[in-house]
Amino acid sequence: MARSRIVVPPSHLRNVAIIAHVDHGKTTLVDKLVYQSGLYRNEELDKLAGGQHGLIMDSNDLERERGITILAKNCAVAYQAADGETYRINLIDTPGHADFGGEVERVLNMASGTLLLVDAYEGPMPQTRFVLQKSLDRGLKPIVVVNKVDRPDSRPQEVVNEVFDLLVDLDAPDDVLDFQVIFASARDGWATADLANPSSNLVPLFEAIVGHVPPPDKADRAREPLQFQVTSLDYSEFVGRIAIGRVHAGVIKKRQRVAVIDHLGEVTRKNVVQLLAFEGLERVEVDEVAAGDLCAVVGMEPIEIGDTIADADEPHALPHTRVDEPTLHMMFRVNDGPFSGRDGKFLTSRQIGERLERELRSNVALRVAPGPTQEQFRVSGRGMMHLGILIENMRREGFELCVGKPQVIYREIDGVRCEPIEQLVVDCPDDCQSSVMALLGDRRAEMVKMGHRSATSGFIHMEFRIPARSLMGLRSRMLNATKGQAIMHHTLLGYEPVKGELPKRQLGVLISNESGSATAYSLDALYDRGIFFVRPGEDCYLGQIVGENCRAGDLVVNVVRGKQLTNVRASGKDDNAKVRPVREMSLEACLEYIEDDELVEITPKNIRMRKALLSENDRKRESRKAAAVEV
């Protein structure tokens, strides 16, 4: 059932973005704010959250599976303040992972203030610094929300001091340093401005938003010519592309004649077919939306993120949203393996190219360029997870493709070749410190800070400056070195001169020399050769990587050999098979694992690793050519 929209004057509007490091509780807080606004009954919220008591704002399947926010989303709630006035609060939920920083950068233009969430134990983390810097660049003053204060190891007052130190380090103006602090438990749905006087609901947070987040703009901006900037895109099979953004000036009306200004400055005239405003988690059709409010516009296709919808008679473009450039690229190519076409529906380079073009329309941090051949595409993104989510979405849509080893993007700065440098934060048990230091020392990491979060935690906190290429393959090795107890986070700091060579993968791989189904008999015979990635009965092909060698150098093996059917039997021999448990390799783990001469084959049902040249003779011939060139 559609809900009626509460109309408030511009002075009673509050546009607030919720920003934080990953897993500090942004989406949980938004869900509780929506719940306590009284717009929905419990059963409605359960239905919206997928019937699993999950998070309403994490509507994407991948978001629910991984427990992270990938796409920025917004909703609107009405709140009756202590003074009796009704306010409408537009809440913008943003991703917390560094790889999806492009989502944060573009939606901050919709906000007039921010809620900076910080974990009461972890304090400011790498992504906290990144999103806070972006919000300060746009002149947004934060309200600091210290979340999870109900944790037994919480240290709220120390975290507030750390946030202050971070703001000083970011050269924040004096008025920002005098920030409002709210202590909260988003999971339990309460907040308070004073820990000595706890609350049972989120009213103190609502009051802080009303009192400290400024209205969008002065009311007289509604009399200026229309300016609306597109910050998000949605799509409907019935009406096509839907432009979502904020009205910066003027009033946009249904059936109004407007001008659309693209990033090149070209102007086209169109009619507003439908105008949708936000009410709760829904969109309500309205006749007009005034300056300062958020809305969705139908009938502007074709339109892209960053375009301006302006007055038809006086078209003036808003500054185009600048997004940081990608730091990582990899080669997408057609799947030319022996099993091509078994699982997927979309196999050709044309279909892959069209899908990447569609992704560019909404993924502002992505770049796509032609590869060395017509069947290859050079795709650049913010990080491994950024590109991994794209590949996973394509896989679920029925695409088959192969991707190469991720490579960092170098830049020439003042004639010097530079590489991206990241801030790496590692929390690990005290007895694992030496293992972590040894692992990072080989990867040209520089320690910046070391200490304990609290005297009783037993965990040591370390911060490093490390080349981005050193992070590839680090997570799995870090977990092995610390028995799965280390916690890692990283974010981009900037570019510095190239640090030098890094150690390559120490162990080789096991490569299948025949096609067929892997057998327990052959895997048993190869028990001491290494760890396998395939199980008995799985289909393998010539050139596929089926395991990790126990020593340096690649080894070609036969994993499809069956037992000879003779009438000679050894007592108990068949019962003593020593097939090791396979190593489960996720998509991101495969992307980090492969070397330059290897590929990851992605299909809707399988993820395999293979050599780029499947034939052993071809690989030997190529290695001889490379050796001749070096000589």
Q: Which positions make up the binding site for GTP?
A: 23-28, 147-150
Report the pLDDT value the prediction gives residue 622, as an integer from 0 to 100: 85
358 inside domain: no
> Are 517 and 548 within one domain?
yes
CATH number for the domain harbouring residue 271: 2.40.30.10
Pick from 467, 497, 527: which residue ends a domain? 497
| Beta strands at 308-311 and 227-236: parallel, antiparallel or unpaired | antiparallel
* Number of separate domains in the chain: 4
Name the nearest CA neighbour of 79 among 209, 199, 181, 200.
209
Looking at the fold, whether 535 and 419 belong to one and the same domain comes out as no
Which pLDDT score, from 0 to 100, does residue 56 have?
Answer: 55
Could you say which of 287, 311, 335 is where a domain stops? 311
Which position has the higher pLDDT, 452 or 419?
Answer: 419
Q: Which 3-state string (H, E, C) describes 322-372?
A: CCCCCCEEEEEECCCCCCCCCCCCECCHHHHHHHHHHHHHHCCCCEEEECC
Flag whether 448 is in a domain: yes
- Average pLDDT on 407-431 reads 88
Mention every residue, 6+ apart, whose C-beta is less than 8 A from residue 454.
121, 153, 155
**What's the mean per-residue pLDDT of the chain?**
83
Residue 518 lies in a domain: yes
Q: Where are the alpha helices (DSSP H) in 507-615?
A: 520-525, 587-593
* pLDDT at residue 525 is higher than 90: no
Looking at the structure, do residues 202 and 226 belong to the same domain, yes or no? no
Task: Tell whether the model's pLDDT for residue 352 goes beyond 90.
Answer: yes
Give the annotated binding-site residues.
Answer: 23-28, 147-150
Q: Are residues 134 and 196 in the same domain?
A: yes
Is residue 53 domain-shared with residue 192, that is, in the same domain? yes
- Look at residue 550 and tell me if it is in a domain: yes
pLDDT of 2 reads: 44
pLDDT at position 576: 58
| pLDDT band per the 50, 70, 90 thresholds, residue 51 | very low
Partner residues linked to 40 by β-bridges: none
Specify whether 620 is located in the same domain as 575.
Answer: yes
Does residue 355 lie within any of the structural domains? no
- Name the pLDDT band for 146 (thresholds 50, 70, 90): very high
Judgement on whether residues 569 and 432 belong to the same structural domain of the protein: no
End-to-end CA gap in the chain: 75
pLDDT of the residue at 541: 92
- Give pLDDT tens digits for 389-414: 899 999 999 999 999 999 999 998 88
Own/partner long-range contacts of 207-212 (Cβ < 8 Å, ≥24 apart): 207/81, 207/82, 208/143, 208/180, 208/182, 209/14, 209/16, 209/79, 209/89, 209/113, 209/115, 209/143, 210/14, 210/79, 210/81, 210/87, 210/89, 211/180, 212/113, 212/141, 212/143, 212/180
Mean pLDDT, rounded, for 287-302: 86
Q: Which domain holds residue 438?
A: 411-497
Q: Please say which residue of 212, 238, 271 terminates a domain.
A: 212
Over the stretch 149-200, which tens digit does the pLDDT of each residue have? 988 888 899 999 989 998 998 888 888 888 899 999 988 888 998 888 888 8
Whether 46 has a pLDDT exceeding 60, the answer reads no
CATH number of the domain within which 483 lies: 3.30.70.240
The residue assigned the tokens 């992704």 is 359
Residue 601 in this model has a pLDDT that exceeds 90? yes
pLDDT at 214 over 80: yes
Percent of the chain with pLDDT over 90: 16
Give me the pLDDT at residue 43, please: 44
Q: What does the pLDDT read at residue 52?
A: 44
Burial class (CB in 10 A: 0-12, 13-18, 19+), 572: exposed
Cis ω for the linkage preceding 126 (within 30 of 0):
no
pTM recorded for the entire structure? 0.79
Kind and range of the H or E run holding 511: strand 509-512
Query: CA 573 to CA 589: how far, in whole Å?
Result: 36
Overall average pLDDT of the 525-535 stretch: 88
Determine the pLDDT at residue 53: 40
Q: Is the pLDDT of residue 597 over 80?
A: yes
The CATH code of the domain that includes 600 is 2.40.50.250
Co-location of 205 and 262 in the same domain: no
Q: How confident is the model at residue 1 (pLDDT cuts 50, 70, 90)?
A: very low
User: Is 146 in the same domain as 39?
Assistant: yes
Mark whether 301 and 416 lie in a shared domain: no
61 in a structural domain: yes
Residues 192 and 47 in one domain: yes
* pLDDT for the residue numbered 600: 94
Please report where in the chains the tokens 């001491």 appear, as a residue.
528
User: Residue 71 carries which side chain, given as an amino acid letter?
Assistant: L
Whether residue 335 lies inside any domain: the answer is no
Encode pLDDT of 57-114 as tens digits.
555 566 566 666 666 677 888 888 887 888 888 888 877 666 666 677 777 888 888 9
- Read off the pLDDT of each residue in 515-538 and give the average, rounded to a whole number: 89
Percent of the chain with pLDDT over 70: 89
Does residue 1 sit within a domain? no
Residue 567 has pLDDT above 70, yes or no: no
204 and 226 fall within a common domain: no
CATH (domain of 50): 3.40.50.300
